[in-house]
Amino acid sequence: MDLRFTEEHERFRAELRGWLERNLERPWIEELRDPANDEDSLFEKRRAWQRKLNEAGYLGMDWPREWGGRGATAVEKAIFTEETYRLDTPPIPNVLGISLLGPALIHHGSEEQRRRFIPKMLSGEEIWCQGFSEPDAGSDLAALRTRAEPDGEHFRLHGQKVWTTFGPWADWIFVLARTDATDRYGGITFFLVPLHQKGVEVRGIRQISGESEFGEVFFDGALARREHIVGRIGEGWRIAMTVLSYERGAMSLAYPAQYDGYLADVVEGCRENGTVTRADVRERLGRLLVENEVMRANGLRNLAIIASGRAPGPEASIEKLYWSEYAKRLADAALDLLGPQAQLKVRAPHARPEMDWAYEALWCRAGTIYAGSSEIQRNIIAKRVLKLPVAG
């Protein structure tokens, strides 16, 4: 057993920290608080930060060199996200493109597709959004109904996609669409589709926090070119499922690091309002501290397993269930312990300077819903790990 990082890992972390200190102008929360910013300017700051990261070679680190990779390991990727979360750096806009589409192109795409799309995806020149979910295909993704109808050698898309992160700013979308209505899984194909064309309408979806980071994309005869199919026709489901597993471990250290920061703000607030010595407050803080350290223990174990080259088992579902449910307890505690101040919107007078609890109190509710709800994760654990029989 050895839960230490290797010397190379530590060297990588040191070099990364140095780079971040030199290059990060200010933590993201200060951008959010800055009244000069609106959703568009914030988006451009995210894009600029992505460009910087890319020029420094921190994106697609584990890809082949020719595609911007540097042969990084899963552990180094985890250290990268950990450090960026710890320092509250701007979230990059092409996060889904790089984590999902990139691997899809590298493993299943054509040489031409890689050359055409990867560089601009990494640089942020072209913004990608993900077109998987639909209004009636969320937890049950394979129920997707968006049709790709043959039109000469190409296809025409008809249907609707939702939860397309950054949809309103995206240039391209990677889409799962039906090329065969009769085959639930084998009838799905993976398309790359430009959004700036006739037959595409993008609408922002307003979140309960007021922002519109998400979008809906409506296809009404939009052109999907044959050469922009990733893999073969009917391979879409298999490709989507495999790429969803490539990011294993990438967040294993990031969430505990992020919640360290959140928790530190609660502690600081309790010091300010003089309740940090109160036994009920300490019991609450103690459990939050304990549960976050346990999350980190899970993460280290998860990474160790990945590093040892073995396929992770229930870890992914447990990790998702754990951090998303923990985030709710943490936000509830913050609002209880910090009082009204924690409810103030980020730009309000007296708002806590280092943490936007008003946003987190709402955002944490999304965590147990997106990317496989807590219910779906529990189903997976019950069936795949505990091998409990299917109902009925």
Partner 1 sequence: MKFDLDEDRALLKSSTRELLEKESPLAEARSVMESSAEGFSKPLYAQLAELGYLGLALSEEEGGSGLGPIGLAAVLHEMGRVALPGPYLDLVLATEALRELAAPEARQALRGLVGGEQRILLARSESVSGIEPATAATRFEGGRVRGRKCFVPFGASADALLVTTAQGLVLAPRPSAGWNAQPLPIVDHAQRFAEIALDTPGVLVADTPLAARRLEAVDRLGALGAAALLLGLMERALEIAVGYLMERKAFGVPIGSFQALQHRAADCLLRVESTRSAVYRAAWALEKDPEAARLLVPVAKAYAGDSGRIVTGEAIQFFGGVGYTWEYDPHIYFKRTKTLEQFYGSTRAQLESALHAAEI
**Most distant pair of Cα atoms in the chain: their distance:** 73
User: Segment 234-253, which members bind partner 1 (CB under 8 A)?
Assistant: none
Which is catalytic among the residues 76, 83, 216, 247?
247
Nearer to its own copies, 275 or 373 (CB): 275
Indicate whether 40 belongs to the interface with partner 1 (CB under 8 A): no
Rg (CA), the chain: 22
Of the candidate residues 9, 33, 145, 282, the single one contacting its own copies (CB under 8 A): 282
Q: Please, what is the minimum distance in Å from the beta carbon of residue 285 to its own copies? A: 11
CA distance 104 to 251: 19
Amino acid (one-letter) located at 163: W
Structure tokens at 367: 């965590």
> Which residues, numbered 76-105, are part of the site for its own copies (CB under 8 A)?
none
- The window from 119-127, 166-174, 275-283, 306-314 that contacts its own copies (CB under 8 A) reads 275-283
Residue 3 found at the interface with its own copies (CB under 8 A): no
The CB-based long-range contact list for 18-22 (8 Å cut-off, 24+ gap) reads: 19/56, 19/58, 20/83, 20/84, 20/87, 20/89
Residue 392 is a binding residue for its own copies (CB under 8 A): yes
Rounded to whole angstroms, the Cα distance separating 22 from 234 reads: 47
Interface segment toward its own copies; rule CB under 8 A; list 141-149, 191-199, 274-282, 368-376:
274-282
Q: Could you say which DSSP state residue 137 is in? A: B
182 is a contact residue toward partner 1 (CB under 8 A): no
Tell me whether residue 354 is one of the annotated catalytic residues: no
- Out of 283, 293, 332, 375, the only residue in the binding site for its own copies (CB under 8 A) is 283
Contact 149, 158 (CB under 8 A): yes
Identity of the amino acid at 383: K
Cβ–Cβ < 8 Å for 178, 146: yes
Interface of this chain with partner 1, residues 254 to 273, rule: CB under 8 A: 267, 269, 272-273
Shortest Å distance, C-beta 335 to its own copies: 16
- Residue ranges in 332-391 that form contacts with its own copies under rule CB under 8 A: 391
226, 177 in Cβ contact below 8 A? no
Among 22, 65, 196, 350, binds partner 1 (CB under 8 A): 350
For residue 134, the 8-state DSSP code is: B
Write out the catalytic residue numbers.
247
Residues that bind its own copies (CB under 8 A): 278-283, 391-392
